[in-house]
Amino acid sequence: MAGLPCRLLLLCLAAAAASADLVLEEVRRSLDLSTHLAKISAELSLANAPGGAAASTFLLALEPGLEPRLAHLGVQVKGEEEEENALEVKETKVKGKSGKFFSVKLPSPLAPGAKVRVSVEMVFTHVLQPYPTHITQSEKQFVVFEGNHYFYSPYVTKTQTTRVKLASRNVESYTKLGNPTRTEDTIEYGPFKDIPPYSQDTLKVHYENNSPFLTITSMTRVIEVSHWGNIAVEETVDLKHTGAVLKGPFSRYDYQRQPDSGISSVKSFKTILPAAAQDVYYRDEIGNISTSHLLVLDDSVELEIRPRFPLFGGWKTHYIIGYNLPSYEYLYNLGDQYALKMRFVDHVFDEQVTDSLTVKIVLPEGAKNIHVDSPYEINRASDELHYTYLDTFGRPVIVAHKSNLVEQHIQDIVVHYTFNKILMLQEPLLVVGAFYILFFTVIVYVRLDFSITKDPAAEARMKVACITEQVLTLVNKRLGLYRHFDEAVNKYKQSRDISTLNSGKKSLEMEHKALTNEIASLQSKLKTEGSDLCDKVSEIQKLDGQVKELVLKSSVEAERLVAGKLKKDTYIENEKMHSNKRQDLVSKIDNILDAL
């Protein structure tokens, strides 16, 4: 019921505007049909007849056949210095008339006898129809446009001219109301005089148009905001060539050999990303598409997207593009109040058309009091929750939809929300707590005995394993004594100081005896436990005795060599023989240790 007075007020304003003595003294209309979009612009000279009332609004009308195709409508007023100011436009209704009507509010009431210059821009999608609808690879693409010779208006138009810009000079046919003039790719109609309100006369042009007829049939844009300094953007795009459908087979050979083969197809297109975009990826279901190229410019990042195959009429492709942005360029805050300012839809390719767009903005966990400011009308769906790692109650997701978008919709939306900064500690504390619980659990598990009854055999095995570990340590330590004694012998041969040799020999005897006694003690413990490893330890003791004997022999021969009682050649030969025997014995000991 609250909206009923507003609707009545709009109807009253529309009736007042339509009944005001407004006249279009001059209309200069331009139709740009050089791409797959129909861009219609009009320069209006709007006058209020003398003796009437001041007009604060005026009406714009849209032909009934073009209603569902309108993607963008913009109205500006031109001042004395040619500056342009955008005017407020609201959809309204006119009693007894079909079609769409828009009420445009003037910056100031138009006094009787006064004039104002207004610029109107309209963009229509899917109004250029391929004819023929199917072509072969070698044929060119022709399209048909049907519109109105006159500027459709609820007011009398004193004089009007229309200029039609085509994509090429190859024109099959066009209507010839008022003997139009044609030069190259331009057709000019008019001037038409004293046109009654709501006048219609079919304007039809059939001409060659090989521009890319690319349409984004569906697109999902996900913006994930992190207060740790990053904004992740990912776009999932379903693309279709909506031009004349390819008839017959496709020849890759002809396509590469002949430059005019598949002239209306699309090999590649460029996507303009924000200047701060980094970590860019471009992939589909198969994986990364390596044929793309990335160019970093001063004010943007240019990504050349080349699908795995050229797109002909009726062909489709699906891909995913993503990148990261620094949050400080798009996220603003004052205390706990935050504002995210980003584009609702971004550039995909030049002259883009998006049939259906879904935007999802994932805010940090704990964001509240969410409010969205949009430059145009969007359809808000119910908010969702998104869960990622370390989330507990989910991140709020804003979901919005819009259809029939063009480049003029590349504008910023602002998302306001509140966020308590103390919640930024939630994830680090969760990580610390998880590791703390893990380590505490491991400590408790290792230190506790969960067995119900004691296992004597298991305890015996554990004791044997512990004793064996001690034996291994002592044997390795004893073998290290021989290496230290070899160093003492080498020093003696160099310095000829007998005290050095005697000191090394004494140290070897003392430490060797102590280690051997310890090993013998452990051997007796193994025997007590009834382990068969006792015999292997006994064998190690015997082999070690032989190693010690060879080591002492080597020292004795070193004394004889220094005293001159043994020739050097003989010493070298004997030392080599002793070394080989010693190495064999040590290898046998190592093998037994490995077996233990």
Rounded CA separation 37/352 (Å)? 9
Measured in whole angstroms, the distance separating CA 548 from the mean position of its chain's CA atoms is: 71
78 close to 92: Cβ distance less than 8 angstroms: no
Q: Which residues pair with 118 in a beta bridge?
A: 44, 77
Alpha carbon distance, N-terminus to C-terminus of the chain: 92
311 close to 239: Cβ distance less than 8 angstroms: yes
Single-letter amino acid, residue 170: N
- Going by their DSSP bridges, the two strands 186-195 and 156-165 should be labelled as antiparallel
pLDDT, residue 10, reads 44
Each of the 596 residues of the chain gets a pLDDT tens digit; together they read 344 444 434 444 444 444 458 999 999 999 999 999 999 999 999 999 887 788 999 999 998 888 889 999 999 997 655 566 889 999 998 888 877 899 999 989 989 889 999 999 999 999 999 999 999 999 999 999 999 999 999 999 999 999 999 999 999 999 999 889 999 899 999 899 999 999 999 999 999 999 999 999 999 999 999 999 999 999 999 999 999 999 989 888 888 888 888 899 999 999 999 999 999 999 988 888 878 889 999 899 999 999 989 999 999 999 999 999 999 999 999 999 999 999 999 999 999 999 999 999 999 998 999 999 999 999 999 999 998 888 788 899 999 999 999 999 999 999 999 998 888 888 888 889 999 999 999 998 888 876 666 667 777 778 878 888 888 888 888 888 888 888 888 888 788 888 888 888 888 888 888 888 888 888 787 777 777 778 888 888 888 888 888 888 888 888 887 777 888 788 788 888 888 888 888 888 888 777 76
CA contacts within 13 A on the Cβ side of 18: 20
Assigned token pair, 76 = 């500006």
Rounded CA separation 371/375 (Å)? 14
Assigned token pair, 595 = 């077996």
In eight-state DSSP terms, residue 444 is H
Rounded CA separation 221/409 (Å)? 14
Cβ neighbours, 10 Å, residue 233: 20
Assigned token pair, 527 = 């025997």
Assigned token pair, 412 = 């910023």
CA contacts within 13 A on the Cβ side of 439: 6
The residue assigned the tokens 């913006």 is 223
Preceding amide of 191 cis, omega within 30: yes
118 close to 88: Cβ distance less than 8 angstroms: no
Per residue, the 3-state secondary structure of 551-587, as one string, reads HHHHHHHHHHHHHCCCCHHHHHHHHHHHHHHHHHHHH
In eight-state DSSP terms, residue 288 is B
Cβ neighbours, 10 Å, residue 577: 11
In eight-state DSSP terms, residue 427 is H
Assigned token pair, 574 = 């004997």
Assigned token pair, 238 = 């379903």
pLDDT, residue 291, reads 80
Report in angstroms the alpha-carbon separations of 531 from 101, 283, 451, 474, 596: 103, 65, 25, 19, 11
In eight-state DSSP terms, residue 137 is T
Measured in whole angstroms, the distance separating CA 558 from the mean position of its chain's CA atoms is: 76
- Going by their DSSP bridges, the two strands 115-124 and 38-48 should be labelled as antiparallel
Query: Is residue 130 classed as helix, strand or coil in its secondary structure?
Result: strand
23 close to 156: Cβ distance less than 8 angstroms: yes
Task: Kindly list the strands in the beta sheet with 171-174, ordered across the sheet, starting from the edge strand earlier in the chain.
Answer: 129-130, 142-148, 202-208, 171-174
Comparing CA positions, the residue from 8, 1, 2, 60 lying closest to residue 29 is 60
pLDDT, residue 297, reads 92
Rounded CA separation 175/145 (Å)? 11
Assigned token pair, 534 = 């006792």
Q: What angle do CA 54, 57, 59 make, to 5 degrees?
A: 125
pLDDT, residue 528, reads 79
321 close to 303: Cβ distance less than 8 angstroms: yes
Burial profile 290-327: b = 16 or more Cβ within 10 angstroms, e = fewer: eebeeeeeeebbebebbbeebbbbebebebebbbbbeb
pLDDT, residue 452, reads 67
Query: Is residue 392 classed as helix, strand or coil in its secondary structure?
Result: coil
- Length of the chain (residues): 596
Largest CA distance in the chain: 144
